């Protein structure tokens, strides 16, 4: 598969095909990587050194697959996960990278909240644009606010749902794809989650469990 332009991250299309462990398919096109790995292995846990975010090899039925690096500093990475159960196949990718900056010293709380919302919306639109560029026939089904609550801490983000036709697990079929974006997680990091699965799959419980269980970047 040819790369389309110099996107900062592996495309959604490539991620769908990158299922060598559970679902089969071709690996995505490679991008330049730093000389040293941005990850440290601690038994079954892969830790992103820059953010401290920990990726277990098995989370709520999802098995860790490939990793990719998008910056020489190693602070912009993704980790792929595959879920396969009876009648349910899901491919997921988690991206962690430096959040767009927010300077709020001395500003009133309402001004800071508005700035955070504007920053999040801008980042969300950039990630939507990536999907819509790679999948020009993608149809946006919905978008809405979304709150992630790991360890009881509420983190506000945005969620978009798309549908398009794509080869998935060796079959050309209609897929549903979910995008979640969060900014300024623990002050420094942006998180992006992408999940894709055949239309008609009840993927919501597995995705919710995974997102709840995955540890956030370290404070």
Cα of first residue to Cα of last residue in the chain, in angstroms, is 38
The pLDDT score that the predictor gives to residue 106 is: 64
CB neighbour list of residue 94: distance below 8 Å, 6 or more residues apart: 55, 78, 79, 81, 191, 192, 193, 214
The pLDDT score that the predictor gives to residue 105 is: 57
Residues shown for the chain: 219
How is the chain split into domains, by residue range? 12-213
How do residues 162-201 score in pLDDT, each as one tens digit? 999 999 988 999 999 999 999 999 888 999 999 999 999 9
CB neighbour list of residue 176: distance below 8 Å, 6 or more residues apart: 141, 161, 162, 163, 196, 197, 198, 199, 201, 203
Residues in the chain with pLDDT values less than 50: 1-30
Predicted TM-score of the model (pTM):
0.84
Q: How many CB atoms lie within 10 A of CB 106?
A: 7
């Amino acid at each position: 598969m040819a790369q389309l332009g110099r996107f900062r991250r592996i495309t959604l299309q490539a991620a769908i095909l990158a299922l060598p462990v559970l679902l089969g398919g071709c690996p995505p096109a490679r991008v330049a990587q730093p000389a040293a790995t941005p990850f440290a292995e601690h038994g079954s846990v892969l830790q992103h050194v820059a953010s401290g975010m920990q990726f277990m090899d098995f989370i709520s039925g999802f098995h860790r697959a490939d990793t990719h690096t998008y910056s020489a500093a190693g602070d912009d990475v993704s980790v792929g996960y595959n879920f396969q159960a009876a009648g349910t196949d899901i491919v997921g990718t988690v991206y962690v990278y430096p959040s767009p900056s927010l300077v709020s010293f001395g500003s009133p709380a309402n001004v800071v909240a508005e700035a955070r919302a504007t920053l999040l919306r801008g980042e969300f639109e950039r990630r939507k644009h990536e999907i819509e560029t790679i999948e020009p026939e993608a149809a946006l089904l919905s978008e809405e606010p979304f709150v992630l609550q790991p360890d009881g801490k509420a983190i506000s983000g945005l969620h978009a749902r798309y549908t398009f036709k794509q080869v998935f697990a060796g079959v050309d079929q209609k897929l549903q794809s979910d995008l979640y974006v969060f900014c300024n997680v623990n002050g420094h990091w942006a998180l992006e989650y992408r999940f894709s699965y055949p239309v008609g799959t009840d993927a919501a419980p597995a995705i919710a469990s995974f997102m709840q269980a995955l540890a956030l970047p370290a404070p």
